[in-house]
């Protein structure tokens, strides 16, 4: 069941609608003439107002709808603005100095066009081995310049990573060019070209393509894959009310914005009738991809894909049956175009359920009495450029963000004597920052660090005679300085977001959500490096700050061309590290990811590499919250003794043996003696 | 397609058939009278013979079928034996001294029976608050004693962990008793009871049960889960020839034995017509579950579930539609009973395919040309007591062993003033040892340790001006001593099993399989502790040995009651650590797992906790081996320019929108402009 999203009053967490975006654009154009719109997005409601409204939506004033805008006016002047939509007024209009807003699609497309016509670029292409009549075969991936101290940040610049395609359908990443034009966005011209000392002409190797014609030529596709069908003939188990989702006691609002992509708001769990808050807001707030090659200009390659390009702006329009399989619900996204009209991305977010194998099982060896219950999980997902973001929500209270990296690795030229086939993919890291605005059983939380450590007492001592003693050591992170901590694999380190006012009735420990994250490489660029300065969030695995409105993006609000001096975002907010964060409204920032040393298996396209972490309830529930998930089969000792009378048998009747004629073959569910129980309430369709 | 396994000649890796087991038993009984059969299992063929046979099965002599037996004769005498089945002869019969064979089901069941009648046990139950007429409500989980220096290992002993059930269907783990009877298996009587200094009577708290009657009473099951159907109407993509499986270029034999459970033999990959070996044998060879409570007798709680109980012996009979969902193929298992007949576990192993989301995707921002391909994976799985073992095989060459822990935590009594509700679950670790008998592109391999590290050159130096330089440091592990290494999360440490004679044509790096494992806690029991001595494999994350026949089980062949002095298994084989393991036939032993600090969410049954690792090809394939997996959708720039003519569209037509009337709704697969391509060869049923 889904209710229409058209004429209803927007939920305060809803992204701006098409009408709202257009309204904001109109107001700005009227006041300031023709400007470029880099951002027109929801200015998130202030938490104090929003919390009141959430407690009593019927009677509390609804927080106003405010548009957050970033425009570039003629002369390259950048303005931050706020528009009160109901009042129809601009309430803030601030000229920025030395700050560059997020890159937009339109800006990216323009660079290639200009590059192909620029005489100096043409000259460099000729030096590389590409004749001037083939400039239509030259392509560029236009990145923000990152930060280059020779150019600074007053002028908006992009660096063009250059490639060549022998044929229009060839994979360009096998033909990188060794020079790098710098593009001035205001003048719309190439103002410089970085030329390396050692020249490397374009590769002459035949392309390794991945499109069907190439595969057919190389022997064809595999033809032995039989289809798998995933269907939900009775519909899905989740309900949507606008953008609010309800599933298996969970309730949360699905937000979306131009830079973070998916935002999960006000995540709560209905615990036997009591709605218990868990997180006020959960999102991937920034990321950085530093490359490990020290040669100029590769140090500029450390894209902040969220702050510089936008997980929302770059998100794919997902397709039923390709990107998403099963019974799928989609949410669209609307963004402004630079010139002030609307760009809609249909099916930007997909939501679906999946069977997740066994949830729990227990068998008694004495009599084979057994309970086996299958798990279901809910996935909220988007795909943007080179990453597939999934938030998997589990019945046992676990939230599992997962990122699957895929796509094409950035490449650079090599000379034939220098390794690989004229192409080199540089080592790099993918570091993501998960922002957890905590609300564990209430707004005042404290973060602890938990390490499993052996007892200090030596083997043979009275306290530890056999030497096996170990325990969980907990360290309270009570100031922002103390909370800047790193992952330690030897102690299986985890972090607990606790509500010390809510002690578990039996364990007496505080209700908590535990961050279990094992893919936590340290930042390899050194302290004091350009990346370390610009990506302060990546210096540690965990930072914790006291909540303040608008402290959302840990590398700063405007990321392109920041110098890192000072380091914007998290380092500013933490300052000298003395602020108390004990028993208060806290935000935990977790940086995780992978270090990638490329290999041939990553070419021409990288098969998905998953990175995952868990947020798990510990001492939150009175006991396992999934005991009331219907089992596939359950028999008690007394039922086994009574030859199976009364067992619950909800076997999935659609499951089949692989090599029979296809008839359902049930060998007496879950018992070796072949006893059959009565059918569960779901008849043939088990879980 | 599956061929009959009945009258054909067994594959040399096949487990002993029912006939072979009975034949061996008959031979032994004839020679040695009535004995208890703890083991009658395949004595694995010698690798030298087997390798020759695998190269040329048609003309090479087939390795003989030998039964490996372990029996207990009257007087508690333990014999290791080998039976040549074709010759009908015992070729080895060795009396052991101070070694106890694996525990069997029958031995476990007996202990509870004896305990209930023992006067001293009855007395302790009364002290605990259980009247003597209620002894039928007393249960025990009979563990091997582990090692207890007061009793040694000449006499076969078990320790009875005692529990009470107020009602026959109640969960006993909420009612642990505080004393521990010791059972003499030969005399079949209780010879001692360990009684703690501080007594803790049985809990009086009401039970938290998980069977349906209890759940119905507590409010009933969730009723909002709609079914998900997973079907393969055209059958499965894998083929079986006996126990040999073929799927997506993979080929391997699925073995199974009483202690390791699943064994994958002779794993190869057909790389465009060339069959390339990867692993000769892969299995979980041992595990240990040390508990962290130093009080007596809890130090004895460190079960070696494989060597002491057997992942084969304890494996569940899986059921279609409960444990396994979809189109499933099963393999049965046969074991001897103690008295010399046959026990069959039907459906011991299940095999099926799963859709695994997106395999790879690349979109070009310029024109939205795109390729998106979905992944399929194959799972070979078993479930035994408290763990669900899955070997997931992926199309990109990755092998992913995964363990899902579930079941009921071991509990011990607590007094009401001592925490929780009269019950305490002790901290513990689950440590598994994966045995990788390497054959990466051939039998002679070398193991390297790989760490990602920052350059030594400081920020601002010529070599590292911007401070971003980092690289992969590789350390050759050329002796067994050097190879005893530990996980380091800060360097994202991995291990590469390399064939240094097989260099990649482009990267020039050796063909390798990389062990990527991030759940690698260190052993918390200290050096010199009882666990450290008995579970030598757990001292380090990785050990590497030179291959020798019969070096299979890293805590020793007979594990119950080993003292750890000397440490059997791996420590013996490594010795002084000087043996060279460079460019030779090596076995990598990897110890991984979790440290578990229990919480209320683990009661009454623990929801699955997954532990996983990857074995990934690096520099093994010339490039990404999955480019020939049929895509769901593929369009090239020239096809997009020609309005979609020729695109490959194999959208899954069974996928549906969640909230329409159910009709298939295709919005123009994978393109924002709505262009439709021709249907792929699979018509409506895409991948």
A305 catalytic? Reply is yes
Q: State mean pLDDT over A619-629.
A: 94
Nearest to B146 by CA among B467, B535, B678, B471: B535
Summarised one tens digit per residue, pLDDT across range B334-362 is 999 999 999 999 999 999 999 999 998 88
- Partners of residue A529 in chain B, C-beta under 8 Å: 459, 466-468
What CA–CA distance (Å, rounded) separates B253 from B13?
7
Nearest to A33 by CA among A7, A71, A63, A64: A71
Are B607 and A600 within 8 A, CB to CB? no
B291 catalytic? Reply is no
Please give the full DSSP string across A116-137, using - where no structure is assigned: HH-HHHHHHHHHHT--GGGGGG
Give Cβ neighbours of residue A7 (< 8 Å, ≥ 6 apart): none
Tell me, what's the pLDDT at B300? 79
Given a contact cutoff of 8 angstroms between Cβ atoms, the answer to whether A594 and A521 are in contact is yes
Tell me, what's the pLDDT at A663? 38
Say which of A330, A419, A628 has its CB closest to residue B215.
A628
Greatest Cα pair distance in chain B: 90
Tell me, what's the pLDDT at B685? 35
Cα–Cα distances in Å, from B348 out to A93, B313, B352?
Answer: 70, 10, 13
Q: State mean pLDDT over B624-645.
A: 93
What CA–CA distance (Å, rounded) separates A55 from A277?
11
| pLDDT reading at A664 higher than 60 | no
The Cα of A500 is separated from the nearest Cα of chain B by a number of Å equal to: 16
| pLDDT reading at B537 higher than 90 | yes
Exposure class string for B2-36: b at 16+ Cβ within 10 A, else e: eeebeeeebbbbbbbbeebbbbbbebbeeeeeebb
Phi, psi of A297, rounded to the nearest 5 degrees: -100, 25
Catalytic residue among B175, B280, B389, B412: B389
For chain A, the average pLDDT equals: 91
What CA–CA distance (Å, rounded) separates A222 from B373?
12
Are A388 and B358 within 8 A, CB to CB? yes
Are A330 and B657 within 8 A, CB to CB? yes
Tell me, what's the pLDDT at A680? 30
User: A570-579, B129-138, B140-149, B156-165: which range is least confident on average?
Assistant: B140-149
Phi, psi of A621, rounded to the nearest 5 degrees: -95, 155
- Partners of residue B651 in chain A, C-beta under 8 Å: 319-322
| pLDDT reading at A206 higher than 90 | no
Tell me, what's the pLDDT at A276? 98
Q: State mean pLDDT over B10-35.
A: 97
Q: State mean pLDDT over A50-55.
A: 97
What CA–CA distance (Å, rounded) separates B279 from B260?
17
Q: Alpha helices, DSSP H only, in B503-567?
A: 530-534
Give Cβ neighbours of residue B198 (< 8 Å, ≥ 6 apart): B415
**Which carries the bigger pLDDT value, residue A7 or residue A601?**
A601
Interface test with A, best of B467, B625, B640 (most A CBs within 10 A): B467
**Which carries the bigger pLDDT value, residue B76 or residue B297?**
B76
Are A605 and B624 within 8 A, CB to CB? yes
Given a contact cutoff of 8 angstroms between Cβ atoms, the answer to whether A291 and B468 are in contact is yes
Are B325 and A655 within 8 A, CB to CB? yes
Tell me, what's the pLDDT at A583? 98
Complex ipTM > 0.90: yes
| pLDDT reading at B3 higher than 90 | no
Portion of chain A with pLDDT greater than 70, in percent: 93
Please give the full DSSP string across A583-633, using - where no structure is assigned: SB-EEEEEEEEEEE---GGGSSSEEEEEEEEEEEEESSSSS-TTTTSPPSE
Are A467 and B532 within 8 A, CB to CB? yes
Given a contact cutoff of 8 angstroms between Cβ atoms, the answer to whether B78 and B95 are in contact is yes
First to last CA, chain A: 21
Nearest CA in chain B to A597: B472
Say which of A527, A630, A638 has its CB closest to residue B169.
A638
The C-alpha R_g of chain A, in whole angstroms, comes to 28
For chain B, the average pLDDT equals: 91
Quick one: pLDDT band at residue A422, thresholds 50, 70, 90? low
Nearest to A318 by CA among B671, B647, B651, B631: B671
Quick one: pLDDT band at residue A407, thresholds 50, 70, 90? confident
Tell me, what's the pLDDT at B422? 57
Cα–Cα distances in Å, from B25 out to B68, B183, B339, B616?
Answer: 11, 27, 10, 42
Quick one: pLDDT band at residue A26, thresholds 50, 70, 90? very high
What are the structural domains, with CATH classification, of chain B?
18-95 (3.10.450.40), 105-216 (3.10.450.40), 239-618 (2.70.98.20), 640-687 (no CATH)
- Partners of residue A208 in chain B, C-beta under 8 Å: 623
Q: State mean pLDDT over A232-260.
A: 97
What CA–CA distance (Å, rounded) separates B452 from B450?
7
Are B375 and A327 within 8 A, CB to CB? no
Portion of chain B with pLDDT greater than 70, in percent: 93
Quick one: pLDDT band at residue A418, thresholds 50, 70, 90? low
What CA–CA distance (Å, rounded) separates B540 from A609?
27
- Partners of residue A521 in chain B, C-beta under 8 Å: 452, 489-490, 492
Given a contact cutoff of 8 angstroms between Cβ atoms, the answer to whether A605 and A407 are in contact is yes
Are A454 and B526 within 8 A, CB to CB? yes
Tell me, what's the pLDDT at A148? 87
Summarised one tens digit per residue, pLDDT across range B495-512 is 999 999 999 998 999 999
The Cα of B314 is separated from the nearest Cα of chain A by a number of Å equal to: 8
Say which of A294, A317, A455 has its CB closest to residue B464.
A294
Quick one: pLDDT band at residue B301, thresholds 50, 70, 90? confident
Given a contact cutoff of 8 angstroms between Cβ atoms, the answer to whether B551 and B581 are in contact is no
Interface test with B, best of A369, A371, A470, A535 (most B CBs within 10 A): A470
Interface test with B, best of A146, A489, A520, A531 (most B CBs within 10 A): A489
Q: What is the pTM of this model?
A: 0.94
| pLDDT reading at B533 higher than 60 | yes
Interface test with A, best of B320, B396, B539, B682 (most A CBs within 10 A): B320
The Cα of B653 is separated from the nearest Cα of chain A by a number of Å equal to: 6
Portion of chain B with pLDDT greater than 90, in percent: 78
- Partners of residue B227 in chain A, C-beta under 8 Å: 232-234, 652, 682, 685-687
Phi, psi of B217, rounded to the nearest 5 degrees: -65, -30
3-class DSSP state of B669: coil
- Partners of residue B670 in chain A, C-beta under 8 Å: 317, 319, 322-323
Are B220 and A628 within 8 A, CB to CB? yes
The Cα of B552 is separated from the nearest Cα of chain A by a number of Å equal to: 26
Q: State mean pLDDT over A543-569.
A: 96
Cα–Cα distances in Å, from A352 out to B247, B357, B653?
Answer: 28, 12, 16
Element (H, E) at A19: helix A18-32
Say which of A228, A322, A460 has its CB closest to residue B633.
A322
Count CB neighbours of B207 within 10 A. Answer: 18
Tell me, what's the pLDDT at B6? 44
Given a contact cutoff of 8 angstroms between Cβ atoms, the answer to whether A457 and A471 are in contact is no
The Cα of A542 is separated from the nearest Cα of chain B by a number of Å equal to: 14
Tell me, what's the pLDDT at B5? 41
What CA–CA distance (Å, rounded) separates B540 from B552?
17
| pLDDT reading at A380 higher than 80 | yes
Are A669 and B357 within 8 A, CB to CB? no
Summarised one tens digit per residue, pLDDT across range A112-131 is 999 999 999 999 999 999 99
Element (H, E) at B253: strand B250-257
| pLDDT reading at B470 higher than 60 | yes
Catalytic residue among A170, A305, A478, A496: A305
Sheet holding B77-84, edge to edge: B36-42, B66-73, B77-84, B89-95
């Amino acid at each position: 069941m889904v209710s229409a999203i058209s004429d209803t009053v927007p939920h305060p967490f809803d992204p701006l609608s098409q009408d709202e975006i257009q309204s904001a654009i109109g107001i700005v154009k009227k006041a300031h003439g023709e400007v470029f719109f880099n951002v027109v997005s929801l200015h998130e409601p202030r938490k104090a107002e929003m919390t009141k409204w959430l407690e009593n939506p019927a009677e509390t004033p609804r927080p106003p709808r405010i548009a957050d805008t970033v425009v570039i006016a003629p002369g390259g002047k950048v303005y931050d603005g706020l528009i009160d939509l109901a009042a129809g007024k601009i309430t803030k209009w601030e000229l920025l100095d030395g700050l560059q807003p997020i890159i937009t699609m339109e800006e990216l497309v323009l660079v290639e066009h200009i590059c192909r016509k620029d005489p100096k670029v043409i000259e460099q292409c000729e030096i590389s081995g590409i004749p001037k009549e083939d400039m239509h075969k030259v392509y560029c991936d236009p990145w923000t310049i990152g930060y280059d101290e020779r150019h600074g940040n007053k002028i908006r610049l992009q660096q063009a990573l250059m490639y060549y395609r022998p044929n229009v359908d060839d994979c360009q990443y096998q033909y990188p060019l060794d020079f790098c034009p710098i593009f001035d966005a205001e003048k719309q011209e190439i103002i410089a070209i970085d030329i390396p000392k050692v020249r490397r002409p374009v590769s002459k190797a035949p392309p390794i393509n991945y499109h069907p014609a190439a595969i057919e030529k190389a022997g064809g596709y595999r033809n032995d894959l039989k289809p798998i069908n995933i269907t939900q003939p009775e519909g899905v188990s989740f309900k949507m009310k606008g953008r609010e989702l309800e599933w298996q006691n969970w309730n949360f609002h699905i937000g979306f914005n131009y830079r973070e992509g998916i935002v999960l708001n006000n995540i709560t769990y209905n615990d036997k009738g009591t709605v218990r808050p868990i997180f006020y807001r959960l999102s991937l707030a920034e990321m950085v991809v530093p490359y490990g090659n020290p040669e100029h200009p590769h140090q500029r390659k450390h894209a902040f894909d969220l702050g510089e390009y936008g997980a929302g702006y770059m998100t794919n329009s997902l397709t039923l049956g390709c990107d998403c399989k099963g019974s799928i619900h989609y949410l669209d996204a609307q963004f402004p175009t630079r010139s002030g009209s609307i760009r809609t991305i249909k099916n930007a977010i997909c939501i679906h359920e999946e069977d997740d194998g066994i949830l729990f099982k227990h068998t008694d060896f004495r009599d084979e009495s057994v309970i086996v219950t299958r798990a279901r999980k809910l996935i909220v997902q988007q795909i943007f450029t080179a990453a597939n973001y999934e938030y998997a929500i589990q019945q046992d209270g676990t939230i599992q963000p997962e990122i699957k990296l895929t796509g094409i690795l950035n490449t650079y030229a090599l000379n034939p004597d220098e390794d690989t086939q004229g192409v080199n993919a540089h080592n790099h890291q993918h570091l993501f920052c998960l922002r957890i605005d905590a609300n564990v059983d209430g707004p005042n939380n404290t973060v602890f660090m938990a390490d499993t450590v052996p007892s200090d007492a030596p083997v043979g001592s009275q306290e530890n005679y056999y030497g096996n003693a170990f325990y969980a050591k907990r360290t309270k992170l009570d100031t922002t300085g103390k909370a800047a901590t790193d992952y330690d694999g030897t102690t299986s380190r985890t972090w607990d977001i606790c509500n010390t006012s809510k002690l578990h009735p039996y364990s007496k420990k505080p209700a908590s959500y535990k961050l279990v994250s094992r893919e936590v490489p340290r930042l390899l660029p050194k302290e004091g490096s350009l990346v370390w300065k610009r990506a302060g969030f990546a210096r540690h695995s965990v930072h914790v700050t006291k909540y303040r409105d608008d402290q959302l993006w840990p590398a700063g609000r405007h990321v392109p061309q920041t110098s890192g001096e000072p380091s914007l975002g998290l380092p500013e907010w933490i300052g000298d590290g003395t602020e108390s964060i004990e028993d208060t409204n806290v935000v935990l920032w977790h940086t995780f990811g992978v270090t990638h040393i490329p290999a041939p298996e990553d070419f021409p396209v990288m098969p998905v590499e998953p990175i995952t972490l868990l947020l798990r309830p510990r001492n939150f529930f009175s006991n396992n919250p999934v005991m009331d998930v219907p089992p596939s089969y359950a028999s008690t000792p007394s039922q086994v003794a009574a030859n199976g009378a009364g067992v619950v048998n909800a076997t999935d009747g659609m499951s089949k043996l692989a090599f029979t004629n296809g008839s359902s073959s049930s060998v007496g569910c879950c018992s070796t003696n072949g006893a059959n129980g009565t059918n569960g309430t779901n008849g043939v369709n088990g879980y």
